[in-house]
Chain A
Amino acid sequence: MTTVTLNGLRTIPAKYVPVLVTAGLFVAMFVAGGIRYEGFASGQVILNVFIDNAFLLVVAVGMTFVILAGGIDLSVGSVVALSTMISASLMKGPGWPPYLVIPLVLLIGAALGLVMGYIIHAFDIQPFIVTLAGMFLARGLCYTIGTDSIPIEDPTFTAFAQTRIDLFAGLWISPSVIIAAVVVLVAAYVLHYTRLGRSVYATGGSEQSALLMGLPVARTKITVYTVSGFCSALGGVLLSFYMLSGYGLHAVGMELDAIAAVVIGGTLLTGGSGFLLGTVLGVLVLGLIQTVISFEGTLSSWWTKIFIGLLLFVFILLQRLFSARRT
């Protein structure tokens, strides 16, 4: 099977290969699932992957910006948790309305990203460490607000959670999917058709060269972390729609899911190379793995982890094989 794929791919520009490999493997996994499990091969299964992972998709979009610019953001999971916590506590305690809470949460997320980006750039500290401190900070703020799960009973939030938007032929999606789709489209436009997008790719490719070309490297670096902070906060809002609660232990380890989704989608961690479409595929792959496991039904939680690790390994290995052929 490998050789057939290879022969077919020879004529395709090399930069699209990782994305196409991921797409191919995704289709293969879907077909295999459809053969193995009854009721798997339906459109709704794919839509459910979107519904259950809308928040991860939004977070991974922000992560794509950071990784394309050559950085990394470990704080996203904690910022997601902090956003659910702030929304839940503000609506329960002082009874703030959602149209005040949501902009405030988005602002806090973006501000956290901005501060981290500024520290990384201005004081030349490694992004891994700065965002690690940001991770501790956001998680710490969660526990400071409260250690228990806070339920959300606001009518707007519950409406968002329960609304089904019917498509054709009995298929449906949730409003979160539409929000995530809008985020993806806007991000794809920004990355591929604006000056900021070009600067992000250039900075990730080589900061030195970007600087010598006169590109605003400082502004770009700070912007990508702000975008990531904003996306994490939005992901947090979507997660509170999904969970209808705020909890300091929400989204533990989500930063690794987001990084894995970006990398599975063919983006290089060294920066400067990758596509947003790849990230969408990466999230779909992770979501489909979860679906396969739930259809399997008998897998214990530890086999789930081993299986996810193995799948990650296969993807990275295949991707590596193709990029090795290229050079």
Chain B
Amino acid sequence: MRRLLWPVVILALLLLVNVFFTANFFSIQMRDGHLYGSLIDILRFGAPLILVSLGMTLVIATGGIDLSVGSVVAIAGALACLQISDDAGVFTAVALALGLSVLLGAWNGLLVAVVGIQPIIATLILMVAGRGLAQLITDGQIITVNSPSYKVIGGGYWLTVPFGILLVVVVLAITVFLTRRLALGMLIESVGGNAEASRLAGIRSRGIIIMVYAFAALCAGVAGLMISSNVSSADGNNAGLWVELDAILAVVIGGTSLSGGRFSLGGTVLGALIIQTLTTTIYSIGVPPETTLLFKALVVTAVCLIQSKSFREKVFGGRRRAVPPSPAAEEKVRVTA
């Protein structure tokens, strides 16, 4: 658990900062049978990012990266809204949108695992073309839908809790079960450590790689449904724009290395929550909108520096030297690809 220490500290610090600017920041109330409060809002608005980051974690664990998730977010929302506005059932629309997302993810995985294209470029193709595809689906317009049952996914409540939060909990629970209770997580880490060695050891590397990209796209698809359902419309141009960067950031802040071979789902959730809390903080302490990016850049740099071992050694070196070196098991073995 020690590697989750820094993300937890940072999240706690960010939350504490809010207390000084927002009275009753930590209070959660019941209103009209729904839970209300700043913390609930952070979870609710952070839900899509957590989902996208979860998928991204597994992709990064295999040593890859997925730049196309933002486009998949837009495509899923666009297709679902198009179907609903064509009088298809909500269930059909959702199933179609998620099915297409999985297909797109499998396409990414195919390019990476079978054709052997570098992940960043393989997914860049879908990132560029997918944005066009989303606009093609919506015909360049913003499709608005009026469907109470579709609205539930991103904006509804179930058992007093926002439905989006429940969705995240379910997906998280399934992912944790599959990767930490079954052997799948170990196989993913082994592929990320060395795909060729894993294949020689009898692991179907290709299948695993295709599967993680499909899973990442599925998560992005669900996030896309949430975002479009929350505003009851689909915007092919702007939905999920740059969410891939936030997701990658969340994964890295959560302690998963971009070189692959190891991942931490708990860390990713913390990372995504840190980013969402940062956004909330920016609003609550009244940073002018022009300087939000600047503020974000500074916090991100600080977070990355604090987590860097060599930074801590260089800056707090004198104090640290007295402490006996941490066991070697904590170190990630550096594998040069």
Give chain A's interface residues, CB within 8 Å of chain B.
72, 119, 122-126, 128-130, 132-134, 136-137, 139-141, 143-144, 146-147, 206-208, 256, 259-260, 263, 268-270, 300-310, 312-313, 316-317, 320, 324
The answer on a CB contact under 8 Å between A308 and B129 is yes
In the complex, which residues of chain A have a beta carbon less than 8 angstroms from the beta carbon of B129?
305-306, 308-310, 313
In the complex, which residues of chain B have a beta carbon less than 8 angstroms from the beta carbon of A300?
135, 140
User: Within B90-127, which residues are at the interface with A (CB < 8 Å)?
Assistant: 115-118, 120-122, 124-127
The answer on a CB contact under 8 Å between A139 and B293 is yes
In the complex, which residues of chain B have a beta carbon less than 8 angstroms from the beta carbon of A126?
252, 257-259
In the complex, A263 Cα to B310 Cα: how many Å?
32
The answer on a CB contact under 8 Å between A324 and B120 is no
How close is B176's CB to chain A, nearest CB, in angstroms? 25
The answer on a CB contact under 8 Å between A309 and B125 is yes
**B161 interface contact, C-beta 8 A:** no
| 4 further interface pairs, Cβ-Cβ under 8 Å (given A143-B289, A143-B294) | A144-B294, A256-B127, A300-B135, A313-B129
Q: Which of A137, A310, A320 contacts B297 (CB 8 A)?
A: A137
How close is B269's CB to chain A, nearest CB, in angstroms? 18
Residue of A nearest to B116 (CB): A320
The answer on a CB contact under 8 Å between B308 and A123 is yes
In the complex, which residues of chain A have a beta carbon less than 8 angstroms from the beta carbon of B126?
309
**B167 interface contact, C-beta 8 A:** no
How close is B119's CB to chain A, nearest CB, in angstroms? 9
The answer on a CB contact under 8 Å between B136 and A123 is no
**B186 interface contact, C-beta 8 A:** no
**B236 interface contact, C-beta 8 A:** yes
User: Within B304-337, which residues are at the interface with A (CB < 8 Å)?
Assistant: 304-305, 308-311, 314, 336-337
Residue of A nearest to B67 (CB): A256
User: Within B68-107, which residues are at the interface with A (CB < 8 Å)?
Assistant: none
9 A-B pairs closest in CB distance? A309-B129, A305-B132, A140-B294, A140-B293, A302-B135, A137-B297, A136-B297, A306-B132, A302-B132
Q: List 17 A-B contacts (CB under 8 A).
A: A122-B310, A122-B311, A122-B314, A123-B310, A125-B308, A137-B297, A143-B289, A143-B290, A144-B290, A207-B336, A208-B336, A268-B118, A269-B118, A301-B132, A306-B133, A309-B126, A312-B121
How close is B243's CB to chain A, nearest CB, in angstroms? 13
The answer on a CB contact under 8 Å between B309 and A133 is no
In the complex, which residues of chain A have a beta carbon less than 8 angstroms from the beta carbon of B289?
143
Q: A126-B252, A126-B258, A129-B258 are in contact. Are A312 and B125 (CB under 8 A)?
A: yes
**B131 interface contact, C-beta 8 A:** yes
In the complex, which residues of chain A have a beta carbon less than 8 angstroms from the beta carbon of B132?
301-309
Residue of A nearest to B298 (CB): A137
The answer on a CB contact under 8 Å between A263 and B336 is no
Q: A269-B118, A303-B136, A313-B125 are in contact. Are A132 and B249 (CB under 8 A)?
A: yes
In the complex, which residues of chain A have a beta carbon less than 8 angstroms from the beta carbon of B290?
143-144, 146-147
The answer on a CB contact under 8 Å between B128 and A140 is no
In the complex, A301 Cα to B300 Cα: how many Å?
34
The answer on a CB contact under 8 Å between B293 and A136 is yes
- Total number of A-B contacts with CB less than 8 angstroms? 143
The answer on a CB contact under 8 Å between A305 and B128 is yes
In the complex, A310 Cα to B122 Cα: how many Å?
11
The answer on a CB contact under 8 Å between B125 and A302 is no
Q: A133-B297, A269-B120 are in contact. Are A305 and B258 (CB under 8 A)?
A: no
**B204 interface contact, C-beta 8 A:** no
In the complex, A301 Cα to B141 Cα: how many Å?
12
Residue of B nearest to A116 (CB): B301
**B147 interface contact, C-beta 8 A:** no
In the complex, A139 Cα to B311 Cα: how many Å?
26
The answer on a CB contact under 8 Å between B292 and A123 is no
In the complex, which residues of chain A have a beta carbon less than 8 angstroms from the beta carbon of B257?
126
The answer on a CB contact under 8 Å between A312 and B140 is no
**B12 interface contact, C-beta 8 A:** no
**B295 interface contact, C-beta 8 A:** yes
In the complex, which residues of chain B have a beta carbon less than 8 angstroms from the beta carbon of A316?
117, 121-122, 125
The answer on a CB contact under 8 Å between B128 and A308 is yes
In the complex, which residues of chain B have a beta carbon less than 8 angstroms from the beta carbon of A263?
118, 121
In the complex, which residues of chain A have a beta carbon less than 8 angstroms from the beta carbon of B297?
133-134, 136-137, 140
Q: Which of B127, B130, B258, B304 contacts A133 (CB 8 A)?
A: B304
In the complex, A122 Cα to B121 Cα: how many Å?
28
In the complex, which residues of chain A have a beta carbon less than 8 angstroms from the beta carbon of B128?
256, 305, 308-309, 312
How close is A314's CB to chain B, nearest CB, in angstroms? 10
In the complex, which residues of chain A have a beta carbon less than 8 angstroms from the beta carbon of B133?
302, 306
In the complex, A259 Cα to B127 Cα: how many Å?
13
Residue of B nearest to A324 (CB): B116
The answer on a CB contact under 8 Å between A129 and B140 is no
In the complex, A303 Cα to B121 Cα: how many Å?
20
In the complex, A256 Cα to B245 Cα: how many Å?
13
In the complex, which residues of chain B have a beta carbon less than 8 angstroms from the beta carbon of A268?
118
**B296 interface contact, C-beta 8 A:** yes
Q: A144-B291, A302-B236 are in contact. Are A125 and B304 (CB under 8 A)?
A: yes
Residue of A nearest to B334 (CB): A208
In the complex, which residues of chain A have a beta carbon less than 8 angstroms from the beta carbon of B293?
136-137, 139-140, 143
In the complex, which residues of chain A have a beta carbon less than 8 angstroms from the beta carbon of B130?
309
The answer on a CB contact under 8 Å between A320 and B294 is no
The answer on a CB contact under 8 Å between A259 and B124 is yes
